Amino acid sequence: MTDADWLSYSLSDFLMFGPEVFLRLFVRINQDVWPWQAIAVVMMVLIAGLLVRGNTAAKRAILLLLAAAWVWSGAGFLMEYYGPINSPATWFGWAFILQGSLLTVAALVCPWERTARRAAQRWQAGTGWLVVTALLPFLVVAQTGNWQSLALFGITPDLTVAASVPCLLMFPRRVRWVFLLLPLLWALFSMATLWALGIRLMLVLPAVTLVLAIAGFRFSPRPAQSPG
């Protein structure tokens, strides 16, 4: 095959499925796990409440909940549903499980520094996180027109990753890159896939992750270095 032949290919030529098949995955997983989506909703509310508390025990609990979400979305959506039609998704599924394991270890052993945040700031963080995490799942519904395609935190990878990145900013900058690397890689992979499929509206989810992950490499949890 000549170089000219390779240049004639587009990214969509390497995908063995179309947008309808991909979007159907969200409906299938919601139908199969019903009514256990309630657990995902409870996890979202708990994380928001823990962000309001903001103490050391709350940070550890947040990481444990994030770890469960990464494992759930990796082993469930990526490996069981997405992997059979897109083999790289299976590799990402294993990476999600590894990320969940690392978050569990970090939750148990990381010596957290105390950060001085006013109660109003903690309420803004928790409320803002919950509102955004509750609204973003409806992007898939808007794309499909089917409420059963709701992309919930802890079940679908894009929402899980996007919602996790702000919480990962709790880590000191010197170790944060370990946890931000996979969100960055997933965002690039997801954006490329959605662009190839022509699913433009859902590009918002990985785009949010990409922006937050890049910013996370510079953001400092110390109020003196990053006011507000």
Model confidence pLDDT, tens digit, residues 58-93: 899 999 999 999 999 999 999 999 999 999 999 999
When divided into structural domains, the chain yields a total of: 1
Please tell me the distance from the alpha carbon of residue 149 to that of residue 83, in angstroms, as a whole number.
18
Return all residues near 15 (Cβ < 8 A) that are at least 6 apart: 86, 193, 196, 197
Q: Let me know if residue 10 belongs to a domain.
A: no
Q: Let me know if residue 8 belongs to a domain.
A: no
Q: Let me know if residue 95 belongs to a domain.
A: yes
Q: Let me know if residue 51 belongs to a domain.
A: yes
Token pair 């109003």 is at which residue?
Answer: 120
The range of the structural domain enclosing residue 94 comes to 16-216
Q: Let me know if residue 36 belongs to a domain.
A: yes
Chain centre to alpha carbon of residue 61:
17
Token pair 């256990």 is at which residue?
Answer: 36
- For the chain, how big is the Rg over CA atoms in Å? 18
Cα–Cα distances in angstroms (integers) from residue 207 to residues 120, 158, 173, 200, in the given order: 28, 10, 22, 11
Q: Let me know if residue 113 belongs to a domain.
A: yes
Q: Let me know if residue 4 belongs to a domain.
A: no
- What percent of the chain has a predicted confidence (pLDDT) above 70? 86
